[in-house]
Structure 1
Amino acid sequence: MVSRHSYQSDPIIEQFLDETWSIHGLSDNTLSAYRTDLRHLDKFLQQQKTSLQAVELTDLQDFIAHRTEIGTSKNSQARMRSSMRRFYLFLLQKKLIQKDPTALLGKTKLDARIPKSLTEEEVEQLLSTPSDDDVIEARDKAMLELLYATGLRVTELVSLTIEQVSLRQGVIRIVGKGGKERLVPLGEVAGEQLEQYLNLVRHELVDTASSDVLFPSRRGRQMTRQAFWHRIKHYALKANIQSELSPHTLRHAFATHLLNHGADLRVVQLLLGHSDLSTTQIYTHVAKARLQELHAQHHPRG
């Protein structure tokens, strides 16, 4: 058995990642997920005395069974299968293998998972918690308002630059997954909060000539998504919000609240940057549940 310290990953993994990035422009998060999945597979195959290029369908099935046994979630398994399919298609195109071992690999059946969201009242509590009198909290307030107003991913939020924002037109230009661009309206409240932040606060955090990061950290650098996630949890605790949170809670709230107020599903899809409408449709379950609750409360025969 290969020990944890003697494992050496197959160089073909990095070649695959480099070429996939250069051709498709995938995000760092996606590439990191591919690397993790393929290294798990590579290590498992080495322990079975075989290799990535010599693999058979039964080897992949054994690997999936192994990951299931150690408690890998269905979502992670689905992503893992996607990583393997893309990797072996690459090997096939490079003529490094004769046939695709994933061709007969089944799909992981995912449970319809309804995203955790917040009520409109809870969002109001959260957004009103940061103080305008503290530089860091004023920055965070602008970030939270922008997050809720636009439905951005946290990664998209923390990587925003000054040039991506047009206060005059009231939009921001987002470069999302796969390098795809979309324009998202700011909304009146978020626009005002952002303008106030840019005029009164940002220069306290960074020399405007030295950085174009929209929301710099205390050190004047781009924040990590983990750092901002900690800030969200901090304000939720102060606001006494009991609902379960995730880094995308305000993104989920953005989508759910739009649908609750009658927004078209395809419009929400465009705003969120989803390439597939089915990804957006999960929010209709949340909106439907809310409508049923309102019907039960207010209809005379509810």
Structure 2
Amino acid sequence: MKTAVYFDLYLEFLLSRNLADTTINNKARVIQRFLNKFNKIEITRKELYEYLNELYKRGICVTTRYQYINTLKNFYEYLIAIGIDINNPFNDISLKLPPQKNVNVLYKNEVKEIYEMFESNENLSAYQEFLFDFLYSTGLRLDELVNLKINDFELENKAILVRGKGSKERIVFYGSKLNIMLMSYLTARRSIMSFNRLYHSYFVIDFMTGQPLKAHKIYSEIVKVGKVVDRKLNPHLLRHSFATHLLENGCDIRYIQELLGHSSVSTTQRYTKVQIKHKIATISKYHPRG
């Protein structure tokens, strides 16, 4: 059986699990590159270490190498599970992950200052403010925002149906301040779609063309905002800030877990550590005897 057949079988398996497109594409890319290198399934110990050494020489970080190895290990486990008589060459590979990096968040007063700058700085656009406000007010992942459709919104109840990792659905609510900007955005979106004679249902669009806005474009706009306000910003930083500020204001961690779409509360609990570090840093920064 050719390597392409093994690859196609596993790809069908991944698709059947309803994983996010990005996740499937990333796994497929790793496996495809591995198979193209050796053009066979059974590899020797020497070839295995040749592959691992290549990852190291390419300057791939430990976390990414761990993901690559895990992806290939699961690929071989699938082949064995469907009856392919083969050993899993990655079974004996042990790679420790580095300690988890601290989560960076914005202080509440920093968020306030950024909103004030949107009102006063002519280098910031209303569209950039909308993207910033939407991400900070909902805590959505970048991919989740990109994939939102118009009919995912229940405007009367200020609710959004979000499809997260593994196509898991959750309801996210938003406040009245975002709602004002949302109404303005939807009016502008309608005009742009009409002008360009387009009728797709993607929520976030390019205001020049009316086409669905790509993830890298949204990321770029948030980074541009950061440069103007002199802070390193990205969409995931806004998600972290969303969660941490809810926690600081007394929100139950289980509810934050639901809003973020975490399958386990242990993932959400890292914000407890962030909250403590944040409070200590606040005292150090603002108290006269900090």
TM-score range relative to shorter protein: 0.7 to 0.9
The DSSP-based 3-state class of the residue aligned with 1:172 is: strand
What's the CA shift for 1:264?
2.8
1:212 is matched with: 201
Q: 1:294 to 1:115 in 2, by over 3 A?
A: closer
Q: Structure 2 CA distance, aligned partners of 1:139 and 1:205?
A: 13
Deviations 1:140-184 (A, max 9, x none): 433321211111011111221111111211210101111100111
C-alpha change, 1:264 and 1:45, in structure 2 (3 Å) is farther
Q: 1:121 to 1:241 in 2, by over 3 A?
A: farther
Deviates more, 1:76-85 or 1:106-115: 106-115
- Equivalent in the alignment of 1:163: 151
Amino acid at match of 1:155: D
Conserved 8 A contact 2:131-2:222: no
Q: Classify 1:162/1:258 alpha carbon distance in 2 versus 1 (closer, same or farther; 3 Å).
A: same
Distance verdict in 2 for CA 1:124–1:58, change over 3 Å: farther
Please list the CA deviations of residues 203-259 of structure 1 after superposition, one character each: whole Å capped at 9, or x if unmatched.
222139812222211211110010111111222222x323x3334121121122222
- Partners in 2 of 1:138 and 1:111 — Cα distance? 39
Instruction: Name 2:219's counterpart in structure 1.
Output: 229
Change (3 A) 1:54 1:235: same
Partner letter of residue 162 of structure 2? I
Query: 2:188 maps to which residue?
Result: 201
TM-score by length of structure 2 reads 0.85
- The CA deviation string for residues 88-110 of structure 1, in whole angstroms up to 9 with x for no partner, is 12211222233433333324323
Greater alpha carbon shift after TM alignment, 286-295 vs 206-215 = 206-215
Instruction: Confirm or deny: 8 A CA contact 1:78 1:107 kept in the other structure.
Output: yes
- Any idea what SS the aligned residue of 2:86 has? coil
**Rounded Cα–Cα distance in structure 1 between residues aligned with 2:44 and 2:255:** 44
Q: How does 1:139-288 map to 2 (within 5 A)?
A: 139-198=127-186, 200-207=187-194, 210-217=199-206, 218-238=208-228, 240-242=229-231, 244-288=232-276
User: Which 10-residue stretch deviates more, 179-188 or 207-216?
Assistant: 207-216
SS in 1 for 2:170: strand
Alignment of 1:92-171 (within 5 A): 92-130=80-118, 137-171=125-159
Q: Could you tell me whether the CA contact under 8 Å between 1:265 and 1:280 is conserved in 2?
A: yes
Partners of 1:148 and 1:250 within 8 A in 2: yes
Q: Which has the higher helix share?
A: 2
Q: For residues 252 and 10 of structure 1, do their structure 2 counterparts lie closer, same or farther at Cα, with a shift above 3 Å needed? A: same
TM-score normalised by length of structure 1: 0.82
Structure 1 residue matching 2:161: 3-state secondary structure:
strand
* 1:206 counterpart SS class: helix
**Cα contact 2:128–2:225 (8 A) shared by 1:** no
Q: Is the 8 A contact 1:84 1:102 kept in 2?
A: yes
Point out where structure 1 has 5 or more consecutive residues left out of the alignment. 1-7
| Count of paired positions | 284
User: Which of 5, 13, 18 lines up with 2:12 in the alignment?
Assistant: 18
Equivalent-residue separation in structure 2 for 1:141 and 1:33 (angstroms): 31
Amino acid at match of 1:232: I
Could you say which residue in structure 1 is the equivalent of 2:23? 30
Listed one character per residue, the Cα deviations across residues 242-301 of structure 1 (whole Å, up to 9, x for unaligned) are 3x3334121121122222323333322221112233332333332121122244567898
Give the structure 1 partner of residue 74 of structure 2. Answer: 86
36-45 vs 68-77, greater mean Cα deviation: 36-45
Give the 3 Å change call, closer, same or farther, for CA 127–297 of structure 1 in structure 2. Answer: closer
Unmatched segments (≥5 aa) in structure 2: none
| Counterpart position of 1:42 | 35
